[in-house]
Amino acid sequence: MGLLGRAVVTVLPLMPRFMVGWVSRRYHAGEDLSSAVKTMRRLEGEGACFTIDVLGEEITTMEEATFFVEEYGRVLEAIIDTGIDANLSLKPTAFGLLIDPTIAEGSIEKLVRKAAGNDIFVRLDMEDHRVTQPTIDLVARMHDRGLSNIGTVLQGRLHRTLGDIEKISEILGSAADHRICKGIYLEPENIAFTGRSDITSATNQAIDAALDCGAYVGIASHDTNIVKHSLTALEDRGMGPGIPDPRELAGPQRPGKGPGYEFQMLLGVRGDIRRRLAKQGHRTRVYLPYGSKWYEYGVRRLRENPDVAWHITKALFFPWSNRR
Ligand code: FDA
């Protein structure tokens, strides 16, 4: 990020809320479920499928979890009613994983059961290192109870990730289903890579390892290095659009899934790459957040954006270019 970009990031908290809202609207689908459905209907035309995230993170009292349990229930109903090709992404700490893990697990299990009855997959987003092991364990216990429509996210930046891929494979076999990304949390250097190129190459290694274990792999990155690496890795393993998954260790293709892999991108980020991949026939999934907590999410995405100054200028002066 250049000097101007860094200066813009510094003054972001001082920007009026409506202005942040206007610029960051590309990153979320609106405040309510009906806006999310509208956005998905529009993006379906670009060959995308979806994973829906109700905005909000770690809660501080168990009462707050009720909102997420009910809202995700409504999301499931909407997916079933509309027939939109979508699954769920949820954050375990929003269900109370760090306050009352038993209740949190019970609430998540209810959603996963309902989703299973309708061939809908549930992804547990991965949060910071405090919950890495509890999240992986939760997924394993769900599988143990016969719920195989759940998986989590493994973060390339964590030193433990290659080991986690191996261990999860030993437990879940071909039912292992990972989203692999760099990891958004700035973790300490005793447990994580901290340099940009180290994180990128560790993420590429994690993608390779997950492919080699026969796991289903959601490649979640907008980084052209990672997308290019993944395309080569897929080709090397004889995988690609329209080709039945040739890996010996892989299971049969599941409903709502690609042939062993898919590409995943955040709403509003590098739509050009996503549309190109979709045109080539790859399954592409948009991570689609919605909800009243859009401000915090929008600011985080703007902070991450290397061209933040240009994007703000463009959104304000050429609003039609502020595309989701
Ligand atoms: P990188 O940050 O290098 O971005 C590559 C390029 O993308 C940039 O050069 C720029 O062109 C563009 N870009 C990136 N961010 C932008 C922005 N905000 N606005 C405009 N352009 C932008 N993390 C985590 O810890 N747990 C999780 O569960 C998830 N889940 C998840 C799901 C999905 C579908 C995605 C795509 C990502 C996640 N992440 C995540 C976040 C992930 O770990 C990572 O922080 C971001 O994807 C950024 O990393 P990239 O690989 O995209 O590279």
Instruction: Judge if 52 and 70 occupy the same domain.
Output: yes
Annotated catalytic residue, options 26, 53, 123, 125: 125
| Domain assignment of residue 323, given as a range | 1-28+305-324
Once rounded to an integer, what is the mean pLDDT over residues 196-203?
98
Structure pTM?
0.94
Residues 6+ apart with CB under 8 A from 47: 275, 278, 279, 284
Q: Is residue 222 part of a domain?
A: yes
Residues 6+ apart with CB under 8 A from 91: 53, 56, 57, 58, 124, 125, 127
Q: Is residue 21 part of a domain?
A: yes
Q: Is residue 300 part of a domain?
A: no
- Model confidence pLDDT, tens digit, residues 27-43: 999 999 999 999 999 99
What is the percent of the chain where pLDDT is above 70? Answer: 94
Instruction: Judge if 57 and 79 occupy the same domain.
Output: yes
- Do 44 and 84 touch, CB atoms closer than 8 A? yes
Instruction: Judge if 238 and 263 occupy the same domain.
Output: yes
Residue ranges lining ligand 1, Cβ < 6 Å: 125-126, 153, 155, 179, 181-185, 220-223, 226, 264-266, 269-270, 287, 301, 304-306
Per the annotation, the verdict on 125 as an active-site residue is yes
Instruction: Judge if 43 and 184 occupy the same domain.
Output: yes
**Helix 224-236 with 196-212: angle, nearest 10 deg:** 20
Please tell me whether residue 40 adopts helix, strand or coil conformation. Answer: helix
Ligand 1 centroid distance, CA of 144 (Å): 32
Two tokens at 112? 């996963």
Give the residue whose CA is nearest to atom 24 of ligand 1: 183
The one-character DSSP state at 124 is E
Instruction: Judge if 93 and 159 occupy the same domain.
Output: yes
Query: 186-194 long-range contacts, Cβ below 8 Å, gap at least 24?
Result: 187/128, 187/129, 187/157, 187/158, 191/129, 191/158, 191/159, 191/160, 192/129, 192/157, 192/158, 192/159, 193/156, 193/157, 193/159, 194/157
- Model confidence pLDDT, tens digit, residues 6-29: 777 777 777 778 778 888 888 999
Ligand 1 centroid distance, CA of 94 (Å): 21
Q: Is residue 218 part of a domain?
A: yes
| CA gap 113, 149 in Å, rounded | 9
Region label for 55, one of left (φ > 0), alpha (ψ between -120 and 50) or beta (otherwise): beta
Instruction: Judge if 158 and 184 occupy the same domain.
Output: yes
Instruction: Judge if 280 and 311 occupy the same domain.
Output: no
- Model confidence pLDDT, tens digit, residues 117-167: 999 999 999 999 999 999 999 999 999 999 999 999 999 999 999 999 999
How many structural domains comprise the chain? Answer: 2
Ligand 1 centroid distance, CA of 101 (Å): 28
Instruction: Judge if 22 and 56 occupy the same domain.
Output: no
Residue with tokens 């690496």: 229
Q: Is residue 297 part of a domain?
A: no
| Res. 222: pLDDT tops 90 | yes
Q: Is residue 280 part of a domain?
A: yes
Q: 49: which strand partners? A: 285
CA distances from 174 to 148, 199, 255 (A): 10, 26, 15
Q: Is residue 298 part of a domain?
A: no
Once rounded to an integer, what is the mean pLDDT over residues 161-179?
98
Instruction: Judge if 5 and 38 occupy the same domain.
Output: no
Residue among 55, 31, 39, 32 at smallest CA distance from 271: 39
Per the annotation, the verdict on 160 as an active-site residue is no
- Do 312 and 22 touch, CB atoms closer than 8 A? no
Instruction: Judge if 315 and 174 occupy the same domain.
Output: no
Instruction: Judge if 18 and 70 occupy the same domain.
Output: no
Instruction: Judge if 70 and 192 occupy the same domain.
Output: yes
Give the residue whose CA is nearest to atom 41 of ligand 1: 184
| CA gap 168, 137 in Å, rounded | 9
- What CATH number should be reported for the domain holding residue 161? 3.20.20.220
Please tell me whether residue 235 adopts helix, strand or coil conformation. Answer: helix
Q: Is residue 295 part of a domain?
A: no
